[in-house]
């Protein structure tokens, strides 16, 4: 069965720059969904983009940062969920593995500090 493209997939594969309205739409959807299913799907899509380390990685990092800053309560509530742990791991892998430019590594470091995660 083929998976439907999520709004996250569309945001991180967009051509022509960052669509801040679309990024915030993802956060609004996460915050409106009481079940946590939208957050889990968002984190799965972000994790896949971060692991692939391809052209969508930069937008995935931007969206990760936006999610951290705008969906913090949802993330805190789901801290032990598999999708959250996998996303944290993908971010750590990028930062530790030198798989992204220095600017992106600094962004990951900021997100870890903001989110209270240590990968030392």
CA distance readout (Å), 100 to 49, 78, 79, 103, 109: 13, 27, 25, 8, 12
Give 64-108 pLDDT, tens digit per residue: 888 888 888 888 888 788 888 888 888 777 777 665 555 555 666
Provide the pLDDT for residue 105.
58
Model-level pTM? 0.74
DSSP classification of residue 112 = H
Give 21-77 pLDDT, tens digit per residue: 888 899 999 999 999 999 999 999 888 888 886 767 778 888 888 888 888 888 888
Provide the pLDDT for residue 18.
75
Helix, strand, or coil (residue 84): helix
Token pair recorded at residue 57: 């990685």
Q: At what angle do helices 37-52 and 82-97 cross, to 10 degrees?
A: 20
Q: Which secondary structure element, helix H or strand E, spans residue 2, and what is its range?
A: none
CA distance readout (Å), 1 to 19, 44, 60, 96: 30, 17, 25, 35
Distance of CA 29 to the CA centre of its chain: 14
* pLDDT of residue 10 exceeding 60: yes
DSSP classification of residue 10 = H
* pLDDT of residue 117 exceeding 60: no
Provide the pLDDT for residue 65.
83
d(CA 78, CA 99): 27
Provide the pLDDT for residue 27.
92
């Amino acid at each position: 069965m083929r998976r439907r493209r999520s709004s996250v997939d569309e945001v991180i594969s967009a051509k022509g720059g960052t669509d801040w309205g679309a990024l915030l739409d993802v956060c609004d959807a996460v915050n409106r969904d009481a079940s946590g299913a939208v957050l889990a799907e968002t984190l799965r899509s972000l994790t896949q983009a971060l692991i692939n380390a391809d052209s969508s990685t930069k937008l995935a990092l931007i969206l990760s940062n936006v999610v951290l800053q705008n969906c913090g309560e949802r993330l805190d509530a789901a801290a032990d969920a598999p999708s959250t742990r996998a996303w944290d791991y993908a971010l750590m892998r990028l930062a530790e593995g030198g798989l992204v430019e220095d600017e992106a590594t600094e962004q990951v470091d900021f997100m870890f500090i903001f989110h209270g995660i240590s990968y030392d």
